[in-house]
Amino acid sequence: MADADEQVTENAPFPGFDVSRPSIARTYDYLLGGKDNFAIDRAFGDKFINDLPGSRQIAPDNRGALVRAIREIITSTPVRQFVDLGSGLPTADNVHQVAQRYAPEAKVLYVDNDPIVLAHGRALLAENENTTVLQADLRDPKAIYDSEDARLIDFDQPVAVVFSATLHHVNDDEDPAGLVRFWYDRIASGSYVFISHFRSENDPRSQELEQVLQGSLGRGRWRTDEQILALFGDGFTVLDPGLVPAVNWRNPDAPEELTDWQRLIAAVLAVKN
Ligand SMILES: C[S@@+](CC[C@H](N)C(=O)[O-])C[C@H]1O[C@@H](n2cnc3c(N)ncnc32)[C@H](O)[C@@H]1O
């Protein structure tokens, strides 16, 4: 796809793609070294790579924490169902690939509002009856819960709900905590919620990044640790090691010293009481 930009506007292989402005999913894919992106996304991604050297590390650090969280859940809990809200679908080690490596029967509902995820998902999941991908907006959780695709998940049994690098794309006036609460009200006790999130630490770099994202995408919020933890509301127990930089989350290979950029994305896992 990276070499086919011209064809996209004329002869879009997947109609519905907006290639007039960058997309979060495609830019993230570019930052991770993937091929599901267009010139407009690469130009936007290059802003981070060239103008804010080191900031690109936020993408692989986030992805690493997500992979470890899914591995931990599948290997050390009875949970065999995952709802991945704002999943993207980068090239490797997606939630279903990690979970089904250990438990082939694990079920995964992917949700994303970017059509590239649906397009990629159809190819990736063609022969996987335990996994489905739904194009929907995570800010409309009822539409997701009521969808045909959501029937894959038995909400009477524990589930892991994944908000990996997505709630920071929900602005304050869109009530990100209310979205977590929606799922809290529908998942069984013993269910997990994973959140990774842009973390401000009151570092001026986070304000710089927020300006770049809000100025281009109209979204992208760096929240304090207190604000991120408050997204859970009551009724959850936050598990060790709490909310920490994503690269440090249950990572025996974490570097001793983090760059300033590495502190600006954090991860946390909690269980419903
Ligand atoms: C930074 S990527 C993270 C992808 C993946 N969860 C991960 O952590 O590797 C954010 C994803 O959230 C999706 N997203 C952002 N806002 C969304 C919304 N309102 N509804 C559904 N998906 C959304 C984007 O399309 C993108 O795929």
**Could you report the per-residue pLDDT of 145-183, keeping only the tens digit for each?**
999 999 999 999 999 999 999 999 999 999 999 999 999
- The conformation of residue 239, written as its DSSP 8-state character, comes to P
* Domain architecture of the chain: domains with CATH: 5-55 (no CATH), 56-272 (3.40.50.150)
User: What percent of the chain is predicted at pLDDT more than 90?
Assistant: 76
Question: CA nearest 79: which of 97, 103, 98, 110?
Answer: 103
Mean residue pLDDT of the chain comes to 92
What does pTM read for this prediction? 0.94
Residue 97's pLDDT is 95
Q: Which of 82, 109, 144, 166 to mutate to test the pocket of ligand 1 (most atoms within 8 A of CB)?
A: 166
H-run or E-run covering 163: strand 160-164
User: What percent of the chain is predicted at pLDDT more than 70?
Assistant: 95
Please determine, for residue 13, whether its predicted confidence score (pLDDT) is greater than 60. no
Question: CA nearest 170: which of 121, 226, 208, 227?
Answer: 227
Question: How far is 29 from 51, CA to CA, in rounded Å?
Answer: 19
pLDDT band at 3 (very low <50, low <70, confident <90, very high): very low
pLDDT band at 185 (very low <50, low <70, confident <90, very high): very high
- CA 197 / ligand 1 centre spacing (Å): 11
133 SS3 class: strand
Residue 50's pLDDT is 92
- CA 24 / ligand 1 centre spacing (Å): 7
Which protein residue has the closest C-alpha to ligand 1 atom 1? 165
Amino acid at 122: R
Q: Specify whether the backbone of 117 is left (phi greater than 0), alpha (psi in -120 to 50) or beta.
A: alpha
Query: What are 40-97's pLDDT values in tens digits?
Result: 999 999 988 998 888 899 999 999 999 999 999 999 999 999 999 999 988 789 999 9
- CA 249 / ligand 1 centre spacing (Å): 20
203: which 2 tokens? Answer: 């570092």
Q: Which of 23, 113, 124 to mutate to test the pocket of ligand 1 (most atoms within 8 A of CB)?
A: 113
pLDDT band at 19 (very low <50, low <70, confident <90, very high): confident
Question: How far is 257 from 240, CA to CA, in rounded Å?
Answer: 20
Please determine, for residue 15, whether its predicted confidence score (pLDDT) is greater than 70. no
Amino acid at 124: L
Within 65-153, strands assigned E span 81-85, 107-112, 131-135
Question: How far is 212 from 45, CA to CA, in rounded Å?
Answer: 11
CA angle 144, 147, 151 (to 5 degrees): 105
Query: What are 214-258's pLDDT values in tens digits?
Result: 888 888 899 999 999 999 999 999 999 999 999 999 999 999 999
pLDDT band at 2 (very low <50, low <70, confident <90, very high): very low
Question: How far is 45 from 57, CA to CA, in rounded Å?
Answer: 12
Which of 2-6, 25-29, 44-48 shows the lowest mean pLDDT across its residues?
2-6
Please determine, for residue 267, whether its predicted confidence score (pLDDT) is greater than 70. yes
Question: How far is 52 from 44, CA to CA, in rounded Å?
Answer: 12
Within 6 Å (CB) of ligand 1, which residues are found?
24-25, 28, 62-63, 66, 86-88, 112-114, 117, 137-139, 164-166, 169
3-state secondary structure 177-196: HHHHHHHHCCCCCCCEEEEE
Question: How far is 88 from 118, CA to CA, in rounded Å?
Answer: 9
Residues facing 134 on adjacent strands: 111
